Amino acid sequence: MAIETINPTTGERLKSFDPWNEQQIETALAAAAAATHAWQASSFAERAQLFKNAAAELRRDIGRYAGLITLEMGKVTKEARAEIEKCAQACEFYAAHAQNFLRAENIASDAGLSYVAYLPLGTVLAVMPWNFPFWQVFRFAAPSLMAGNTAVLKHASNVPQCALAIEEIFLKAGFPRGVFGTLMISAAQTEKIIADSRIHAVTLTGSESAGRKIAAAAGAHLKKTVLELGGSDAFIVLADADLELAANIGVTARFLNAGQSCIAAKRFILTPSIAEAFLEIFKRKTRALKMGNPAHADTELGPLARADLREQLHKQVTDSVAAGAKLILDGGPHAGPGFFYAPSIIDNVQPGMRAYAEELFGPVAIILRAKDEADAIRLANDNRYGLGASVWTRDVENGERVARRIQSGSSFVNGLVKSDPRLPFGGIKASGYGRELSTHGIREFVNTKTIWIK
């Protein structure tokens, strides 16, 4: 099966790549293995300089890299450029802080000297998705490579030119060949690579089903894994919230990247006294979104990335409506070329409906009506996922109490849920395990090693 670029704005097939054969895969894995020893022996200062070079390269050609994102998965230009800038910031963050994050820790014991060292594992295989095709790669690569690991990338099959461009960035920045490599392989070829003794750990961002397969394959070979498997984030609006602010951020939180984000607000949980007022503002702001060609500067909502994703989303919506949910903003598949889906809002969502239980990966907002604050927390936690959540209230102390009770990897009070290199990122429950970013992220793929000297 070919690895293809299909423009989601037009549906046009633009470029096709044949998956690599066994010899091509062997060449890439051998290059990573050959580069590993020298890379581990390099200093933090040497690695940091190369990441500073990578940040400069990302910014130097930001228009081309952002253009590839727009071309292959339909992200609007403003958001695509912001994604490239965020990658550059992550490179600079780990260049500045990796050495301190991995500094040896002296521990008093019965030894003359005992300490914990954080040493690289070897080569990390990254299986990455299409929705943030640059950021999610750099999110793993910056800490992993700064820790002294090498890496190979199996990217999503619909963003092959982004995948090749990322390898090009590392080479242009001066990284030795083999330290980071892109594998042009299909999903069916991934399990065999996980089994290869030259792969020491695996990180995946993707669907729950993909996570189960990757974890099983890695577990069979005792390889460390980090999994980020999406979410159905709660957006809780309490009775004393600033409704204009909450609705304004809520529109961004739900419809950024055409709703194709793991940490997008997906379930809007409203307390009774503010529900109608919030919805009035939220619907008005949602209707005002400009959908169109993502390459145009004023477009706010681009297409979904693939035709099958649009079909799946619409089936989730229609099945939920058939079960009794109510469309209060009826968008749906847009007539004409491309994979556009107009923003939609579903009210009266109840247990047993697909919209209640599943992640809706696209521009559809789900409304859940809570009886009170306690019921809002119950609804937030009555979900198989646990990635992010946000709470909206003027009482910040109470907001913090509510945030702590939500079962998620992160909870934001009066703010848009987002990833930040300074803070750990990841989920619980069916959203996966392990953490990326911050000190916690760089320590996922190291050997936490005790050194004891008498």
Q: State the DSSP code for 227.
A: E
When the pLDDT of each residue in the chain is averaged and rounded to a whole number, the result is: 98
3-229+431-453 CATH pick, 3.40.605.10, 3.40.1110.10, 3.40.50.2000, 3.40.50.970: 3.40.605.10
pLDDT recorded at residue 2 = 86
* Whole-number pLDDT of residue 148: 98
pLDDT tops 90 at residue 51: yes
- Distance between CA atoms of 262 and 259, rounded to whole angstroms? 9
pLDDT digits (tens, 9 = 90+) for 70-92: 999 999 999 999 999 999 999 99
Q: What percent of the chain has pLDDT over 90?
A: 99
Confidence band of 221 (pLDDT split at 50, 70, 90): very high
What is the C-alpha end-to-end distance of the chain, expressed in Å?
Answer: 59
Angle at 175 between CA 171 and CA 179, to 5 degrees: 100
Of 151, 60, 39, 143, whose CA–CA distance to 95 is shortest?
143
For residue 400, with 0-12 CB atoms within 10 Å meaning exposed, 13-18 middle and 19 or more buried, which class applies? Answer: middle
pLDDT for res 24? 98
What is the DSSP secondary-structure string of 13-45?
EEEEEPPP-HHHHHHHHHHHHHHHHHHHHS-HH
Please state the domain extents for the chain. Answer: 3-229+431-453, 233-418
Give residue-wise pLDDT tens across range 106-139. 999 999 999 999 999 999 999 999 999 999 999 9
Q: For residues 341 and 359, give the distance between their C-alpha atoms in angstroms, rounded to a whole number.
A: 16
Give catalytic status of residue 87 as yes or no. Answer: no
> Does the pLDDT value for residue 310 go beyond 80?
yes
Residue type, 320: S
Which residues lie closer than 8 Å to 51 by C-beta, 6 or more apart?
91, 92, 94, 95, 142, 145, 146, 173
User: Is residue 162 flagged as an active site residue?
Assistant: no
The neighbouring-strand residues paired with 182 are 153
Domain 233-418 fold is Aldehyde Dehydrogenase; Chain A, domain 2 (3.40.309)
Q: What is the pLDDT of residue 258?
A: 98
pTM score, two decimals?
0.97
Q: Is 253 left (phi over 0), alpha (psi -120 to 50) or beta?
A: alpha
Q: Is it the case that residue 155 has pLDDT exceeding 80? A: yes
Residue 358: phi, psi to the nearest 5? Answer: -105, 160
SS3 at position 432: strand
- Rounded CA separation 212/229 (Å): 9
Alpha helices (H) in 74-159, listed in sequence order: 77-101, 135-146
Average pLDDT, stretch 384-401? 98
Q: Which amino acid is at 145?
A: L
**8 Å CB contact between 10 and 337:** yes
Instruction: Look at residue 115 in the predicted model and tell me its pLDDT.
Output: 98
CA dihedral 11, 13, 14, 15 (to 10 degrees): 140
Residue 1 banded pLDDT, cuts 50, 70, 90: confident
pLDDT-above-70 percentage for the chain: 100
For residue 189, the model assigns a pLDDT of 96
Q: Name the active-site residue from 87, 91, 162, 262.
A: 262
Instruction: Catalytic residue, from 228, 300, 436, 444: name it.
Output: 228
**446-453 and 113-120 beta bridge pairing:** antiparallel
What distance in Å separates the CA atoms of residue 442 and residue 424, rounded to the nearest whole number?
10
**pLDDT reading at 141 higher than 80:** yes
Cα–Cα nearest to 333, from 343, 324, 325, 323: 343
